Amino acid sequence: MIEQYLGEAKVKPTLMIKKFKVSVSKNTLDNIYKKVKNYPWHNTKKMDGWLHGTNHLYLKKISKYWTSKFNWKLQEKKINKLNNFTTNIEGINIHFIREKGSGKNPTPLIILHGWPGSIVEFLEIIEKLAHPEKFGGNKEDSFDVIAPSLPGFGFSEAPKKPMGPRKIAKIMNELMTKKLGYKKYIAQGGDWGAAICNWLGYSHSKSCKAIHVNCLTMRHPNGPQNKSEKEWEKKFTKDQIMEEGYRTIQATKPQTLSYSMIDSPVGVAAWILEKFHSWSDIKNNNIESVYTKDILLTNIMIYLITNTFNSASWIYFGRREEGGRNFPNNFKKISVPTGIAKFPKEMLEWPPKSYLDRIFKIYQFSEMKKGGHFAALEQPDMLVKDLRKFLRSLKYNPYSHNGRGGSL
């Protein structure tokens, strides 16, 4: 049973946790809307389509909606409907949502966003994961859901200097164990959240007992070993040429970029919208075939109302300082059970399974029929279903974590 595997779910939590409520002043909102309204469209080149970057016509369209129909206070209410908290870890105030699961023994689960996302990615799945019986499921599949804003993102305080995913994993583990009192838990993530999950499973396996990822951001230090793996790497490198621009800037000179963005809500919107268009499984080149304007703008607003566009990009610089994409040369396979959800339009193409088998102890490998990089937003029900299935595999898999057989 998962109870045996996770052991006693909780210990007594330590140190202070404070209730948190999102409340953005009218002055802040008016200032943002004024800048959007006054954006100098007449000075921009009218380049149609998305080939050269964010579509000029679409950006004007969503900006008009932004200042005429978008209701931040309604979105604020949706966030505050959930239980929001903050706590201080290593001198950084960390924001998180916590929804306790139904039933007698819900499984502790931390879900981790990436860039250019936020906790907005999870607003549709938190209650489904915590209370499956309300959505046609079983209480036995419930999770205690913890959804933090990463350091420097959204409602979490920025660190004093750039911090990479390995360091963030340490903070997330402390949140789950020392702050919330869980002895054992599992983790899920995409984008940077997936990288942090990798480090949780690798460096904190005493408490993080399983991981579920929908993106591969890390690399094996020994590189590709066979023909198919080498072909994948060659294709991956070629495919990423058109996606390297933002990544290189944010990993080398994030401060320079921030000066132009801090006073331009439309600029921030353009920078973020381009990724949601390029990385998602959209139809007919239409970003709104997957996302509503409200969802897109709410995510953008999180960056603007908290002034975190700059500090959120630091994670790229931080990873470079930690050694980049590769695990360390002395890397040993991540030993905790791993679930992989492969969405077909993931922009970071997955390698052959032989490569993955050298990194992970794969318990579940699911190939999805549709969806892209932002799985929790694009295909929330598919992701929730796969997570529940993974939980059941941990409960009933005939092979235990230590390899000796028996239930988990």
Q: Which of 182, 185, 202, 316 is labelled catalytic?
A: 316
Choose, from 5, 56, 144, 191, the residue flagged as catalytic: 191
For residue 96, give the amino acid letter: F
Q: Is residue 161 part of a domain?
A: yes
Query: What pLDDT sits at residue 346?
Result: 96
> Which position has the higher pLDDT, 108 or 260?
108
- C-beta of residue 168 within 8 angstroms of C-beta of residue 149: no
What does R_g of the chain's alpha carbons equal in angstroms?
21
Mean pLDDT computed over 87-116: 97
What are the C-alpha distances in Å from 29 to residues 33, 80, 183? 6, 17, 41
Structural domain that includes position 24: 2-396
Q: Confirm whether 405 is domain-assigned.
A: no
Are 129 and 75 in contact, with CB atoms under 8 Å apart?
no
Known active-site residue 144? no
Examine residue 243 and state whether it is found in any structural domain, yes or no: yes
Known catalytic residue: 363?
no
> H helices of 131-207, where?
165-174, 192-203
pLDDT digits (tens, 9 = 90+) for 307-364: 999 999 999 999 999 998 899 999 999 999 999 999 999 999 999 999 999 999 999 9
Give domain status of residue 371, yes or no.
yes
How many Å apart are CA 324 and CA 313, to the nearest integer?
15
Specify if 38 maps to a domain: yes
The confidence score (pLDDT) of residue 13 equals 56
User: Which pLDDT band holds residue 45 (cuts at 50, 70, 90)?
Assistant: confident
Contact between 145 and 97 (Cβ < 8 Å): yes
Separation of alpha carbons 167 and 196, rounded Å:
9
CATH of the domain at 358: 3.40.50.1820
What integer is the mean pLDDT of 4-11?
A: 46
Between 165 and 1, the higher pLDDT residue: 165
| Sheet of 337-342, strand order | 17-19, 84-89, 92-99, 143-148, 107-112, 185-189, 208-213, 337-342, 361-367
pLDDT digits (tens, 9 = 90+) for 237-270: 988 888 888 888 999 999 999 998 989 999 999 9
In a domain, 238, yes or no: yes
* Active site annotation includes 220: no
Q: How many domains does the chain have?
A: 1
Q: What is the mean pLDDT of residues 73-80?
A: 98
Q: Is residue 330 part of a domain?
A: yes
Instruction: Give start and end residues of each alpha helix (H) in 136-226.
Output: 165-174, 192-203
| 408 in any annotated domain | no
pLDDT of residue 4: 38
| Residue-wise pLDDT tens digits, 266-287 | 999 999 999 999 999 999 999 9
With a cut of 60, say whether residue 96 has pLDDT above it.
Answer: yes
